[in-house]
Amino acid sequence: MKNLIFTLIILVTAVGCSNEPSSNQPIGEKVLLISFDGFRYDYLSKTDTPNFDKLVETGVISKGLIPIFPSKTFPNHYAIATGLYPENNGFISNSMYDPEMDAIFSMRDREAVENPDWYQGEPIWNTVEKQGKKAGTMFWVGSEAPIQDMHPTHWKVYDQSMGDSARIDTVVKWMSYDDPKQVDFATLYFHFVDSQGHRYGTDSPEVVEAIERADDLMGYLIQRMEEHGLIDHTNLLVVSDHGMANVSRERIVVLDDMIDPNDIEIIEYSPSLMANVKNGDPAAIYNALKEKEENFKVYLKENIPERYHLKNHPRVPDLLMVADIGYTINTQEFFDAREDYPSGAAHGFDNREKEMHAIFIGSGPAFRSGYRMKAFENVHLYELMADLMNITPAPTDGTIDSVSVMLK
């Protein structure tokens, strides 16, 4: 009898002290970051969204997610990934010129997108991998480049034609406990809400259909996660990079009415137009624009407002013009060549404008239930994700204190 008891004690102790849990058992909580590009903060009110509503009922929604300026796709996705403002992570817009590299970045230039020299700061997937965990990125700005000579365990080259359900199935597989390379952190990205907003405007039936499609995808994602035993052990962060504002031909700013467009080299276009001066004195061009400043604001680089967190980077050019909400800046030649331009909706406006605010929903074991919180800046999301995964963050411009109120 004594021998039997002793044997049982040894077995129980061995099981309790084992450092090798079975492969199908949860190991801590995971984080899944999901972006619906161009999903404005108020889009859930435009139609029935039962799957989003369930997440909101059991989790957290904010009154908005405030983008960094400029409120464009690449800068904001990279700000979310690094927790840094543009002047600290180098991503000042979708298009930019680096005088030290003497090179131009365009988001459609595959070579530039995959060049790590354009990316500064430490993205969250690198932080994850450096601390003994694994990450998988399904289309996220920066994840295709070997930043700090690293890639996530799993990553994909951006392919817009890849089906929505295929994206979800792939990420769920990466996260699954029966996968030998299961990840602790993953991303998902969908572009179609942004595309329909640009083309048809924020109040169009096409945007409503896109919102409903996004809701269906959330339902499918939750179903697949439930099937793989992930839903109770994963914190979901549903975000967008920016909102949208309607534009029209009736609201335009023509550069030719103020300056000779040939005197400047436009690097990034409206509504946050960035340009270097080719001919003449930057101060003279600035003064000519300033004299007729209507429906836009103009700044020399050194006078860009501090709240934009932009000017202290060598990639920022001589001039910045910021269109008032709903207005478009361009040359007469550009307008004349496109009778229907501008139309639909656009983003890139001042990030204080409510129309530029994005969506944030947090749901999972770490989040409070049914909590509503004020709008907050997206640079705090990196710190939030690091906290959720119990990893040490790299230096950022965000703080966990700014968002910890949403956690249990």
Tell me which residues are annotated as active site. 73
Element at 98 (helix H, strand E): strand 95-98
Residue type, 386: A
3-state secondary structure of 225: helix
Distance CA 178, CA 72 (A): 38
Which residues lie below 8 Å from residue 207, measured CB to CB, with a gap of 6+?
Answer: 43, 46, 193, 196, 197, 200, 201
Q: Is the dihedral of CA 359, 364, 366, 369 positive or negative?
A: positive
For 197-307, list the strands marked E by DSSP: 234-239, 245-246, 252-254, 264-268, 272-277, 296-300
Name 275's bridge partners: 266, 319
Q: Which two tokens stand for residue 314?
A: 């060598």
Going by C-alpha positions, the residue among 397, 317, 407, 408 that lies closest to residue 66 is 397
Q: What are the DSSP calls for 279-347, one per residue?
A: SS-HHHHHHHHHHT--SEEEEEGGGS-GGG--SSSTTS-SEEEEEPTT-EEE-HHHHHT-TT-S-SEE-
Name 105's bridge partners: 96
Element at 33 (helix H, strand E): strand 30-36
Q: Which residues of 187-202 are buried (b: 16+ CB within 10 A; e: fewer)?
A: bbbbbbbbbbbbebbb
